[in-house]
Amino acid sequence: MVRYYRIEGLFFLLDKKALVFGVLFSLGVGGLFSSGFYSLNIVASEMVHFHVNFPVSEGKTAGGLGPPGGFRGQLQPVVVNIAKEGLPKKVCCPWIVGISTHWITNLSEKEYTIRLELVNCSMRIDWICTLSTWDPQTKTIRQKVSPCQRVRGLSLDIYFHIEPELRDVETIYEGGLRIVDAETGEVLSYLPIKIVVR
């Protein structure tokens, strides 16, 4: 049946089936293009933030969850519990875990060039860093970190892609992030990281 619809004083001749099809088609195309973007944003919203200090000496902590709240105290391992993630994250992308930092701090009186290493990790990892001095091949920050300063302008995201064979175990990953002197190979700091389902 053909009907006339008045919209702001104009007449449009629309077939009801064509109108329904057009609306559903638009929603489908919009959903297709937005789903990838939405999934990435869901992962980002569920990210665990952490901070790391180096070099670590007696009386100083290697780091922990969230932004730095002081340089002294007990080490706080980064623990990500997949079972506590929100429903949108569980539905859209349950097997990608993201951790993030803006705070890697040099506590010493000398400058360093540092390299980052994930210990005991066989999963696919995506490292996303905004620094122009970031070397994605070696995971090295090529700018020197000044004494008693953070890495300036740092935004580092690390994504763990959890393989099917790891999805039925309680402890998916138990390792850590190692900060290494890129020039000498000396280990400057180590922050334990654990991904669990419980």
Q: What is the pLDDT along the chain (198 residues), one digit of tens a residue?
A: 555 445 444 444 455 665 555 555 554 444 433 444 444 455 555 788 999 999 987 656 788 888 876 444 456 789 999 888 777 777 777 789 999 999 999 999 999 999 999 999 999 999 999 999 999 999 999 999 999 999 999 999 999 999 999 988 999 999 999 999 999 999 999 999 999 987
What's the CATH code, domain 47-196?
2.60.40.2310
- Listed by start position, the domains of the chain span 14-45, 47-196
pLDDT of residue 185: 97
Residues in the chain: 198
pLDDT of residue 18: 55
User: In angstroms, rounded to a whole number, what is the distance separating the alpha carbons of residues 22 and 28?
Assistant: 10
pLDDT of residue 7: 47
pLDDT of residue 137: 97
User: CA-CA-CA-CA torsion for 119, 58, 115, 78, nearest 10 degrees?
Assistant: 50
**Cβ–Cβ < 8 Å for 138, 48:** no
Closest C-alpha to 84, from 48, 50, 38: 48
Kindly report the pTM of this predicted structure. Answer: 0.74
